[in-house]
Amino acid sequence: MSRALSPLASFRAIGAYVPEKILTNFDLEKMIDTSDEWITKRTGIKERRIAAEDESTSDMGAKAAALAIERAGIDKAEIDLVLCATVTPDYFNMPSTACIISEKLDIRNVQALDISAACSGFVYLLSVAKAFIESGMKKHILIIGAEKFSSIVDWTDRGTCILFGDGAGAAIISATDKKEEAFVDVHASADGGYADFLVTPSPGSVNPMNQKSLDEGLNFVQMKGNETFKLAVRTLTKDVKEILETNKISAGDIPHFVPHQANYRIIKAVGDALKMREDQVVLTVHKYGNTSAASIPMAINDLYEAGNLKYGELMLLDTFGGGLTWASALLPYAGK
Ligand code: UT7
């Protein structure tokens, strides 16, 4: 075992929560002009989870977080930072969803904040948590990706409503002095030149909430699907190749490739470009759809609960979303 002189960040535990209600492609056939065949062929999605009307993003995030804390085997009083990634916060302006989750978990007097990086949110949080830990400022950070995407979807728009689902995932990132437990690398990047590819125009300072913005449906997510698709494949392939090359790790040596679960065709294209075997690629898109910032931690949780994630095994994460933002991470699982 090799020890580091300054603190390193480690991925200590995972948790997730999925709402009970399942919305299948056959249910969608009854709502809009689509078919199970089209959705399956173009996206790989068969069903997605939808939160109850009275279930908020923070409700889901708190449940995922409670599980991660329990599995980490730490006392919640040891947590010194709470970070939440979401684009469907409980309230659009304030308070932050991280503050509300802290209250629901009775985590008191710690810094709590949200970040907005859409589907890339969870991997963005890994980079933020890494920096806080390595600077010595924090020791146990609770990070959460939670989304009630159904609350911003236009259920008459077949180009978007078939894709998204609700859910939450959370992790505990802790300081360690063991090099074999430490994050290897995190890349996070953005290009605001593509801001209009994925946008929820209102509410905000550009389009404040008023009758006009509601009448025009500006409160719903709008997506240039096909353009986003092509850019996602190009950008992710390049980004993932770069992180592997920089760290001199071959794709064949990664036990777990956990890509953002947006569309099976994107996952397949990137996996094929890296020559990944099927058994390396974690897939949940068929059962959860795209849950934005919750997608990666929900997928890691599935891997864990299936008994397939062991201490020290390397994970390669990649994600892409509104902003546009993208990110990838290489890190071992450091939990039990
Ligand atoms: O999470 C972050 C980022 N988001 C993404 O990564 C999403 C990326 N984009 C996609 O996943 C895909 O672009 C979609 C699944 C959204 C759409 O698939 P596509 O193969 O790009 O289809 P398209 O938009 O080019 O549309 C092809 C046809 C159109 O009909 P025409 O004009 O050819 O007659 C659409 O109107 O498919 C039609 N169409 C549908 N038909 C049945 C679009 N949505 C549907 C639908 N059911 N739900």
From residue 291, alpha-carbon distances to 70, 111, 168 in Å are 23, 26, 8
Could you tell me if 157 and 220 are in contact, meaning their C-beta atoms sit under 8 angstroms apart?
yes
Residue 95 has pLDDT above 70, yes or no: yes
- 24, 148: one domain: yes
* Domain limit, last residue, from 178, 198, 226: 178
* Domain limit, last residue, from 150, 178, 206: 178
Structurally, how many domains does the chain consist of? 2
Residues framing ligand 1 (Cβ under 6 A): 34, 38-39, 42-43, 119, 158-159, 162-163, 198, 225-226, 228-229, 232, 262-263, 266, 290, 320-321
Number of helices and strands in the chain (H, E): 10, 13
Q: Is the peptide bond before 203 cis (omega within 30 degrees of 0)?
A: yes
Q: Is the peptide bond before 95 cis (omega within 30 degrees of 0)?
A: yes
User: What 3-state class would DSSP assign to 78?
Assistant: helix
Residue 223 has pLDDT above 90, yes or no: yes
Residue 1 has pLDDT above 80, yes or no: no
Eight-class DSSP state of 248 = T
Compute the Cα dihedral for 283, 286, 292, 294 and give only its sign: negative
Q: At what angle do helices 97-104 and 57-72 cross, to 10 degrees?
A: 60
Give the E-state strand segments of the chain in sequence order.
3-17, 21-24, 47-50, 81-85, 111-115, 140-148, 166-178, 185-190, 198-199, 222-223, 256-259, 314-321, 325-332
Q: How far is the CA of 224 from the centre of ligand 1 (A)?
A: 9
- Ligand 1, atom 22, lies closest to the CA of 226
Q: What is the model's pLDDT at position 3? A: 74
CA–CA separation, 295 vs 11, rounded Å? Answer: 17
CA–CA separation, 252 vs 205, rounded Å? Answer: 47
- 294, 157: one domain: no
Residue at 142 is within a domain: yes
Q: What is the model's pLDDT at position 336? A: 86
- SS3 string, 216-236, reads CCCCCCEECHHHHHHHHHHHH
Ligand 1: atom nearest CA of 232 is: 6
Confidence of residue 74 (pLDDT cuts 50, 70, 90): very high
- 35, 15: one domain: yes
Average pLDDT, rounded, for the chain: 96
- 164, 292: one domain: no
Confidence of residue 133 (pLDDT cuts 50, 70, 90): very high
Q: How far is the CA of 43 from the centre of ligand 1 (A)?
A: 9
Residue at 3 is within a domain: no
Q: How far is the CA of 238 from the centre of ligand 1 (A)?
A: 23
Q: How far is the CA of 229 from the centre of ligand 1 (A)?
A: 9
- 77, 166: one domain: yes
Residue 225 has pLDDT above 80, yes or no: yes
Give the residue among 333, 256, 297, 240 at the shortest CA–CA distance from 123.
Answer: 297
Q: What is the CATH number of the domain that holds 129?
A: 3.40.47.10
Query: If you average pLDDT over residues 95-116, what whole number do you get?
Result: 97
Q: With 0-12 CB in 10 A as exposed, 13-18 as middle and 19+ as buried, what is 258?
A: buried
Residues near 308 by beta carbon (within 8 Å), at least 6 away in sequence: 256
The verdict on whether 290 is a catalytic residue reads yes
Range of the domain at 283: 185-332
Convert the pLDDT of each residue in 282-334 to its tens digit: 999 999 999 999 999 999 999 999 999 999 999 999 999 999 999 999 999 99
- 20, 165: one domain: yes
CA–CA separation, 15 vs 171, rounded Å? Answer: 6
Q: What is the model's pLDDT at position 272? A: 94
- 204, 294: one domain: yes
Confidence of residue 128 (pLDDT cuts 50, 70, 90): very high
Convert the pLDDT of each residue in 278-292 to its tens digit: 999 999 999 999 999
- 70, 193: one domain: no
Could you tell me if 282 and 16 are in contact, meaning their C-beta atoms sit under 8 angstroms apart?
no
Confidence of residue 190 (pLDDT cuts 50, 70, 90): very high
Task: Identify which of 158, 221, 226, 227 to mutate to test ligand 1's pocket (most ligand atoms within 8 A of the CB).
Answer: 226
Q: How far is the CA of 1 from the centre of ligand 1 (A)?
A: 50
Query: If you average pLDDT over residues 123-136, what whole number do you get?
Result: 98
Residue at 279 is within a domain: yes
Query: If you average pLDDT over residues 229-251, what whole number do you get?
Result: 94
- Ligand 1, atom 42, lies closest to the CA of 34
- 54, 168: one domain: yes
User: What 3-state class would DSSP assign to 9?
Assistant: strand
Query: If you average pLDDT over residues 166-190, what whole number do you get?
Result: 97
- Residue whose token pair is 């959705």: 39
* Domain limit, last residue, from 159, 178, 197: 178
Ligand 1: atom nearest CA of 159 is: 44
Query: If you average pLDDT over residues 251-265, what whole number do you get?
Result: 96
The verdict on whether 301 is a catalytic residue reads no
- 64, 212: one domain: no
- Ligand 1, atom 3, lies closest to the CA of 321
Q: What is the model's pLDDT at position 4? A: 74
Give the residue among 237, 284, 279 at the shortest CA–CA distance from 257.
Answer: 279
- 173, 203: one domain: no
Q: What is the model's pLDDT at position 317? A: 98
Which is the catalytic residue, given 84, 99, 119, 161?
119
